[in-house]
Copies of this chain bind each other. A is one copy, B any other.
Amino acid sequence: MRFRVASEIIYDVHSPSTIILNIHALRTPTQTVLEETFQIEPYVKTKELNSANGENRLVQFETLENKHLHLSYQAVVDASHTLMDSHQLSDSPVMQLDASVVPYLFASRYCQSDKLGKLAYDKFGSFEGAYAKVVAITEWIYKNVDYLSGSTNSQTSAYDTVTQRTGVCRDFAHLGIALCRALSIPARYFTGYAHQLNPPDFHACFEAFIGGQWLIFDPTRLAPLNGLVKIATSFDAAHASIATIFGSITCTGMTVTCEALDPDFLPFNHQDLPTRALTLSGYLKISGE
């Protein structure tokens, strides 16, 4: 399925600064970037960082002060979401996880799974199998946490959200990840472009590793799962900010768009999850397991 994605960001630069940008569509065996342009006006030289594990495509640049920068990114991306029968997904015991997956069992800045163990087991431990557990986690978050812009800030973590129960997509994702890890299910943060997201913005949800696959879950239910274009996966938002800024910069404008180019795009929504699961990571195909 092809998507046209775009983002524009306007920065007022007050001091000499370095920016690490995380807005490029990821290139993976199951997500192909067909066309892509990225420019900064006025021109600034950039450098792409190639992450060892293929989790993101960071772009770095430096800028002098007193600049008004206009960044624009556009791409056409072919994202191959795979649907599968969820009943065929066996659990992935810790002993079978390989070294690239194990770190996603551990607590991170915004996902303090070490503090959520008892709550996670009490609420979700009785569901049979990892897939049912993560579906239950995702539904619980959807039902108990209110989506409310401005209710949280950059320091809000899963430990807050589990009690305060308001937040934005980032907070929903962090709580989902923390609860999965508390149940020994590897989970990671997913940030991307989302078709039909309203209002349009960068989106965040999460992936859980079940049956040898990284499956996508979105507790916000704000966009179809098969309308996601991946920018990055990471431990949590601390490792996947849209922009990490070293210096004094104000963001004065941002627009994000994502549009399915196939006229007969058929949304696959979260409500369909209990029986069918979705992946955009294609782990199986890569490793040949």
Check A246 against B94 for contact (C-beta < 8 Å).
yes
Contacts of A286 in B (CB 8 A): none
A238 to B94, CA, bound (A): 16
Contacts of A213 in B (CB 8 A): none
Partner of A162, one of B58, B62, B163, B246: B163
A106 to B154, CA, bound (A): 13
Contacts of A116 in B (CB 8 A): 163
**A74 is an interface residue with CB less than 8 A from chain B:** no
Copies of this protein, total = 4
Contacts of A62 in B (CB 8 A): 95
Contacts of A169 in B (CB 8 A): none
Interface size on A, residues (CB 8 A): 49
Stretch of A47-55, A200-208, A254-262, A268-276 with 4 or more beta carbons under 8 angstroms from chain B: A47-55
A111 to B146, CA, bound (A): 23
Contacts A18-B94, A95-B62; is A115 near B164 (CB within 8 Å)?
Answer: yes
Q: How far is the CB of A93 from chain B (nearest CB, A)?
A: 7
* Chain A contacts to B: CB under 8 angstroms: 18, 20, 47, 49-53, 58, 60-62, 93-95, 98-100, 102-103, 105-109, 111-112, 114-116, 118-119, 122, 144, 146, 154-155, 159, 162-166, 184, 235, 238-239, 244, 246
The 6 A-B pairs at the shortest CB distance, nearest first, are namely: A49-B99, A107-B238, A18-B94, A107-B109, A118-B165, A106-B238
Can you list 24 pairs linking A and B with CB atoms under 8 Å apart?
Answer: A18-B94, A18-B95, A20-B94, A20-B102, A47-B95, A49-B98, A49-B99, A52-B100, A58-B102, A60-B94, A94-B246, A103-B239, A106-B238, A107-B109, A107-B238, A108-B108, A108-B235, A109-B111, A109-B112, A114-B155, A115-B155, A115-B163, A162-B163, A163-B163
